[in-house]
């Protein structure tokens, strides 16, 4: 047992559901107790989705405990098949089904006899993998299933497209700034004259998966989800893939050079150096920005970085290599990816922290007292408590991380966004610091004199109970309630405010 | 039930149409009750013994609260716990000692989950032993998704609390409580049960004081150490519709007499609630009719917004019957009352009031659907096109995108909705989507999507 208040990565089934519900016309059925369909709320609220989330539960209740699911799961699968006519139904195990050890594969086999849809059992174990590993595996599993199916039916066409083309593996729901990142990648590919063969899984149909081998290569922008699929396609069809995250101008250039290498290997004879040069020096503002005077002030400032391995590594590289900021420690909660992370940023920071214990992270932040933090929503809250500015660079996500405006982290526009994020975090911190030195806003007294209560009001007494009640009211409306109550008491010619008077005033104000 | 005659229940069955669907509906897991209970019981610590799934739910459902040093945590089960390679007793002891050292609570609540049920972890057996060993009370509640929905979590916790032996009170305290005081009628002790915010506790207590009724205690109290004395023959009355296990426990285990009343939600419900308590104590209610009228007068504007409009409850928190009854009294037409679980005995008086309200407003009694099926409900919503759907967040945005007004049901659980004073809060919530849409009229209310 582990005492835990907070976790960076969710349970395995969330990963499976993220993949399944990213595809078009795929329905996931969770084998889970009532209340475990919380995923639907997250998708509907965080991403503000207009469609019903294609996830339902085959509810595990007392009867199921006593007698087993029996026909229930099979019936639920065929019912969804008739109601929604999906291409694929993914039966999703949860922590509960992991311990019930029912033969879910058997249900899948039986159900698929009578359904139009394909039926798959997600191959994930709750106690062995987390959200990201499960998502990675589920995507591979679905891709593999449809490739094999096409091979069996002799529908698989592996001839490459005439023009250079790419599959982007890594568009999902509930991922950090993902929609914008994918748009930016599409723009980058079109600049490089590379056709998009397929983008999976968000918005993709499972029917188009058999076309994946037609692309010249794959690009996997995030390490957490998609690598297994890319490796499978490499083993099966010898498709090269690029796993360099194009985040920051330096890494974006690296990524583009790798693309160039692959294309030239296939006799495309391209040279992207000029493009990189123009983009870096003129189109993207961030390279010039880091040379500008403002940025000089950031030199040697202490920062710490924490997040998933993709974003934490990329951010560490940007801070050190592009901005001259001193990263005291960089860390990730993707413990299974430790060696990669160490290899990537080992030389760029003083120390590496691999943990999923948020208490430890909090302590380490307090100890170092950095000038700025780049982390997840959790670090943002630690930062608030310690009064340190913080930029959010990685999941776990929050509704604020689904901005309406265009905010990629990848590509050249992403580099601009990140530069803004870094700079704004620092100036805010600096502003705060200067305010403290000069004793705060000088308008304070003027403001409070103008807005304060009529001095006559304060002659009214509050008894002990009502005073206690007043302190329980949240700070931001307390003043208003105090004024209203005193006004009410004055009108009623009362001298002391009791609990009764408070409530009467509330009712009167209605 | 002591005070509701079974004959009346028989009558009810004939008149109200109850149905039961598949139970494929969306609701919160009952462990969510820790969110409001840890805030209510100030010296408590809640330990949820479950998996990452439970933790992820709490973390996401409770949003910002988690960062204010909450007095709850997960005891996250690992593979060794599931396969019994580790001793439950030793593991729990280690964690509870850590909690005791770091937070020093007066009580630790163990919240059992689906996993502890399935692996049959004997929490009730372990707790008394460990309690003695670490000298800290441990209260066990099984609030799991196998058996319960959302607010029923509170019911399991309060039922467990109700079984605790009477706390050791300072000797002079009983004198203080029983000391005759001006303005109170002499009556047997009355204990109210249900967790509501302290201001609302004060409001309802004062409301009863006006009738000369003294509330001897609340279950739960602000602090665990202030749990009320509960003695054989005391009267008890619930303030929330989802507390049937607590009511049963108080009657059967503590030999209390239950006052079966409608719940104090809406001015009509509050008046009926007070009147019922008065009747039991043989008191002639004083000024209640006027009090109710005054409140309705203040609600006029809101009532004018919803009068004649229709509403559909998808059902997820068991407040549905009381809310529907209040909204019918406010002039709304209710198409369907979905509800996770319907205790016809505990909610008997509330059902009668619903029946009476419909009769007086001359509208048919809405159908009550237990364990609803959300998919079928969405179909019915498409057909009926209600003016408002009260539903969970999983359905709210998709329904809005189809031009259907929604109100997120969980807000009714967290808002202050009890008593005369707060009737307005309920209508604030109910009318918010309608008021919002009036303001957005210029943008148009056409459908935003036509997929699925």
pLDDT for B274-304, tens place per residue? 999 999 999 999 999 999 999 999 999 999 9
Looking at residue B421, what is its pLDDT?
94
Looking at residue A40, what is its pLDDT?
94
How close A399 comes to chain B (CA, Å)?
A: 10
A432 is annotated as an active-site residue: no
Touching B: A residues 457-476, CB under 8 Å:
469, 472
Asked if A49 reaches chain B (Cβ–Cβ under 8 Å), the answer is yes
Q: Which residues of A touch B205 (CB under 8 A)?
A: none
On the question of pLDDT at B6 being above 50, the answer is no
Looking at residue B1, what is its pLDDT?
39
Looking at residue B447, what is its pLDDT?
56
**Would you say the C-alpha torsion B320, B322, B326, B331 has a positive or negative sign?**
positive
Query: Tell me, what DSSP letter sits at residue A456?
Result: G
Is there a contact between B94 and A60 if contact means CB atoms under 8 Å apart? no
Looking at residue A23, what is its pLDDT?
97
Average pLDDT score over residue span B128-157: 95
Q: Which residues of A touch B100 (CB under 8 A)?
A: none
Nearest to B272 by CA among B420, B378, B442: B420
Touching B: A residues 491-510, CB under 8 Å:
499-500, 503, 506-507, 510
Nearest to B78 by CA among A4, A32, A103: A4
* CA A242 – CA B344 distance, rounded (Å): 63
Nearest to A374 by CA among A352, A389, A356: A389
Question: Which of A1, A37, A45 is nearest residue B75 as measured by Cβ atoms?
Answer: A1
Looking at residue B378, what is its pLDDT?
96
Q: Cite the beta strand spans of A172-325 per DSSP E.
A: 195-201, 217-219, 241-242, 302-307
Calculated CA dihedral for residues A406, A410, A414, A415, nearest 10 degrees: 180
Q: Are A310 and A222 in contact (CB under 8 A)?
A: yes
Q: Are B316 and B39 in contact (CB under 8 A)?
A: no
Measured in whole angstroms, the distance separating CA A248 from the mean position of its chain's CA atoms is 18
Q: Which of A16, A30, A32, A41 is the best mutation test for B, with the most CBs of B within 10 A?
A: A41
- To which residue do tokens 């000369």 refer? B212
**Lowest mean pLDDT segment, chosen from A243-247, A303-307, B67-71, B442-446:** B442-446
Looking at residue A468, what is its pLDDT?
86
Nearest to A81 by CA among A47, A40, A114: A114
* CA B202 – CA B40 distance, rounded (Å): 14
A336-381 tens-digit pLDDT: 999 999 999 999 999 999 999 988 999 999 999 899 999 999 899 8
Catalytic-role residue among A61, A103, A265, A294: A294
Looking at residue B13, what is its pLDDT?
47
Average pLDDT score over residue span B73-90: 90
Convert A445-463 to b/e letters by CB count within 10 Å (16 or more is b). Answer: eeeeeeeeeeeeeeebebe
**Lowest mean pLDDT segment, chosen from A184-188, A286-290, B33-37, B172-176:** B172-176
Residue B29 marked ligand-binding: yes
User: Which band of pLDDT confidence, cut at 50, 70 and 90, is reported for residue B448?
Assistant: low
How does strand B72-76 pair with strand A2-4?
antiparallel
How does strand A302-307 pair with strand A372-375?
parallel
Average pLDDT, chain A: 90
Nearest residue of chain B to residue A62 (CA atoms):
B146
Q: What is the pLDDT along chain A (510 residues), one digit of tens a residue?
A: 999 888 899 999 999 999 999 999 999 999 999 989 899 999 998 888 889 999 999 999 998 888 888 889 999 999 999 999 999 999 999 999 888 889 999 999 999 999 999 999 999 998 899 999 999 999 999 999 999 999 999 989 899 999 999 999 999 999 999 999 999 999 999 999 999 999 999 999 999 999 999 999 999 999 999 999 999 999 999 999 999 999 999 999 999 999 999 999 999 999 999 999 999 998 888 888 888 887 787 888 899 999 999 999 999 999 999 999 999 999 999 999 999 999 999 999 999 999 999 889 999 999 998 999 999 998 998 898 888 999 999 988 888 889 999 999 999 999 999 999 998 888 766 676 677 677 665 544 444 444 444 545 557 888 888 888 888 887 777 888 888 888 888 888 888 888 888 888 888 876
Average pLDDT score over residue span B83-89: 89
Question: Which residues contact residue A17 at a Cβ distance below 8 angstroms, ignoring those fewer than 6 apart?
Answer: A28, A30, A39, A55, A92
Q: Which of B74, B146, B297 is the best mutation test for A, with the most CBs of A within 10 A?
A: B146
Looking at residue B279, what is its pLDDT?
96
pTM: 0.90
B446 compared with B195, residue with greater pLDDT? B195
Q: Are B231 and B166 in contact (CB under 8 A)?
A: yes
Average pLDDT score over residue span B25-32: 94
* CA B322 – CA B265 distance, rounded (Å): 7
What one-character-per-residue DSSP string does A199-217 give?
EEETT-BGGGGGGGGGSSE
Average pLDDT score over residue span B175-182: 56
Nearest to A408 by CA among A137, A200, A176: A176
* CA A246 – CA A265 distance, rounded (Å): 21
Q: Are B349 and B438 in contact (CB under 8 A)?
A: no
* CA A463 – CA A214 distance, rounded (Å): 79
Run of H or E including A120: strand A118-121
User: Which band of pLDDT confidence, cut at 50, 70 and 90, is reported for residue B444?
Assistant: low
Report the DSSP beta bridge partners of residue A497.
A462
Is there a contact between B146 and A65 if contact means CB atoms under 8 Å apart? yes
Is there a contact between B82 and A510 if contact means CB atoms under 8 Å apart? no
Q: In what order do the strands lie in the sheet with B310-313?
A: B18-20, B367-370, B333-339, B310-313, B388-391, B406-408
CA distances for A408 relative to A177, A185, A227, A309, A417, angstroms = 6, 9, 21, 18, 7
Average pLDDT score over residue span B81-109: 93
Measured in whole angstroms, the distance separating CA B204 from the mean position of its chain's CA atoms is 16
Report the DSSP beta bridge partners of residue A242.
A219
Report the share of chain B in percent with pLDDT over 70: 90
Nearest residue of chain A to residue B114 (CA atoms):
A96
Looking at residue B291, what is its pLDDT?
96
On the question of pLDDT at B172 being above 80, the answer is no
In angstroms and rounded to an integer, the radius of gyration of the C-alpha atoms of chain B is: 23
Looking at residue B390, what is its pLDDT?
97
């Amino acid at each position: 047992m582990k005492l835990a208040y907070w976790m960076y990565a969710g349970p395995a089934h969330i990963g499976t559901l993220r993949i399944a519900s990213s595809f078009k016309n795929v329905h996931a059925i969770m084998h889970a107790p009532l209340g475990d369909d919380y995923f639907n709320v997250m998708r509907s609220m965080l991403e503000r989705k207009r469609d019903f989330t294609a996830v339902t539960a085959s509810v595990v209740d007392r009867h199921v405990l006593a007698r087993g699911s029996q026909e229930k799961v099979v019936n639920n699968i065929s019912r969804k098949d008739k109601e929604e006519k999906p291409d694929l139904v993914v039966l999703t195990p949860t922590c509960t089904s992991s311990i019930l050890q029912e033969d879910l594969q058997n249900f899948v086999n039986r159900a698929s006899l009578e359904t139009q849809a394909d039926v798959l059992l997600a191959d994930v174990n709750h106690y062995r993998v987390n959200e990201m590993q499960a998502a990675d595996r589920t995507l591979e599993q679905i891709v593999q299933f449809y490739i094999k199916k096409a091979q069996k039916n002799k529908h698989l066409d592996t001839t490459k497209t005439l023009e250079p083309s790419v599959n982007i593996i890594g568009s999902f729901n509930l991922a950090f700034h993902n929609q914008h990142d994918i748009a930016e990648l599409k723009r980058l590919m079109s600049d490089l004259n590379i056709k998009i063969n397929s983008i999976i899984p968000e918005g993709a149909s499972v029917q188009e998966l058999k076309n994946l081998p037609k692309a010249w290569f794959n690009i996997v922008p995030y390490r957490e989800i998609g690598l297994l699929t890319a490796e499978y396609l490499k083993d099966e069809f010898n498709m090269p893939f690029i796993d360099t995250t194009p985040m920051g101008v330096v890494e974006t250039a690296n990524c583009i050079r790798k693309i160039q290498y692959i294309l030239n290997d296939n006799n495309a004879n391209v040279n992207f150096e000029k493009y990189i040069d123009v983009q870096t020096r003129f189109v993207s503002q961030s390279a010039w920005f880091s040379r500008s005077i403002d940025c000089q002030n950031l030199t040697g400032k202490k920062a710490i970085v924490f997040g998933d391995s993709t974003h934490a590594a990329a951010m560490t590289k940007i801070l050190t290599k592009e901005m001259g900021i001193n990263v005291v420690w960089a860390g990730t909660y993707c413990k299974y990816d430790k060696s990669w992370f160490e290899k990537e940023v080992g030389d760029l920071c003083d120390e590496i922290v691999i943990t999923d214990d948020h208490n430890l992270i909090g302590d380490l932040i307090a100890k170092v007292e950095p000038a700025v933090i780049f982390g997840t929503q959790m670090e943002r809250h630690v930062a608030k408590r310690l009064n340190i500015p913080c930029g959010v660079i990685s999941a776990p996500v929050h509704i604020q991380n689904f901005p309406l405006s265009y905010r990629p982290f990848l590509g050249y526009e992403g580099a601009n966004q990140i530069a803004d994020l870094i700079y704004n975090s620092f100036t805010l911190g600096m502003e705060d610091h200067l305010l403290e030195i000069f004793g705060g806003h000088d308008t304070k007294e003027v403001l409070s004199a103008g807005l304060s209560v009529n001095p006559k009001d304060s002659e009214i007494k509050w008894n002990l109970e009502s005073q206690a009640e007043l302190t329980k009211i949240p700070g931001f409306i307390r003043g208003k309630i105090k004024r209203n109550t005193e006004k009410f008491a004055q009108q009623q010619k009362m001298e002391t405010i009791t609990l009764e008077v408070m409530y009467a005033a509330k009712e009167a104000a209605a | 039930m002591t005070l509701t005659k079974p004959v009346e229940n028989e009558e009810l069955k004939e008149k109200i149409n109850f149905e039961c669907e598949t139970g494929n509906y969306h609701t919160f897991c009952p462990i969510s009750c820790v969110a409001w209970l840890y805030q209510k019981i100030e010296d408590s610590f809640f330990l949820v013994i479950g998996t990452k799934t439970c933790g992820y739910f709490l973390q996401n459902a409770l949003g910002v609260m988690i960062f204010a040093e909450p007095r709850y945590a997960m005891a996250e089960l690992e593979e060794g716990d599931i396969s019994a390679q580790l001793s439950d007793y030793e593991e729990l002891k280690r964690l509870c000692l850590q909690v005791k050292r770091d937070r020093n609570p007066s009580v630790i609540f163990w919240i059992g989950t689906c996993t502890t049920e399935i692996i049959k972890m004997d929490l009730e057996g372990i707790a008394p032993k460990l309690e003695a060993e670490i000298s800290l009370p441990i209260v066990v509640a099984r609030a799991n998704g196998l058996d319960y929905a959302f607010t029923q979590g509170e019911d399991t916790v309060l039922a467990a609390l109700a079984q605790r032996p009477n706390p050791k009170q300072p000797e002079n305290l009983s004198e203080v409580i029983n000391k005759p005081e001006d303005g109170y009628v002499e009556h047997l002790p009355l204990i109210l049960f249900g967790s509501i915010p302290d201001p609302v506790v004060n409001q309802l207590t004062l409301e009863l004081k006006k009738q000369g009724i003294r509330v001897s205690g609340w279950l739960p109290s602000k602090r665990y150490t202030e749990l009320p004395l509960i003695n054989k023959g005391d009267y008890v009355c619930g303030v929330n519709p989802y507390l049937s296990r607590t009511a049963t426990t108080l009657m059967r285990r503590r030999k209390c007499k239950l006052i079966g009343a409608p719940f104090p939600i809406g001015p009509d419900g509050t008046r009926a609630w007070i009147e019922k308590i008065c009747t039991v104590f043989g008191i002639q209610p004083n000024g209640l009719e006027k009090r109710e009228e005054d409140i309705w007068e203040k609600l006029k504007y809101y009532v004018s917004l919803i009068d004649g409009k229709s509403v559909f409850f998808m059902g997820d928190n068991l407040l549905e019957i009381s809310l529907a009854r209040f909204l019918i009294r406010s002039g709304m037409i209710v198409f369907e009352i979905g509800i996770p679980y319907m205790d016809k005995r505990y909610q008997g008086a509330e059902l009668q009031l619903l029946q009476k309200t419909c009769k007086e407003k001359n509208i048919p009694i809405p159908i009550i659907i237990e364990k609803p099926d959300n998919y079928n409900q969405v179909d019915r919503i498409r057909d009926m096109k209600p003016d408002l759907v009260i539903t969970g967040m999983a359905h709210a945005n998709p329904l809005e995108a189809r031009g259907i007004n929604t109100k997120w049901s969980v807000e009714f659980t967290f808002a202050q909705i009890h008593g005369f004073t707060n009737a307005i809060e309920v209508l604030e919530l109910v009318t918010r989507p309608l008021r919002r849409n009036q303001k957005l009229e210029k943008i148009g209310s056409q459908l935003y999507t036509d997929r699925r």
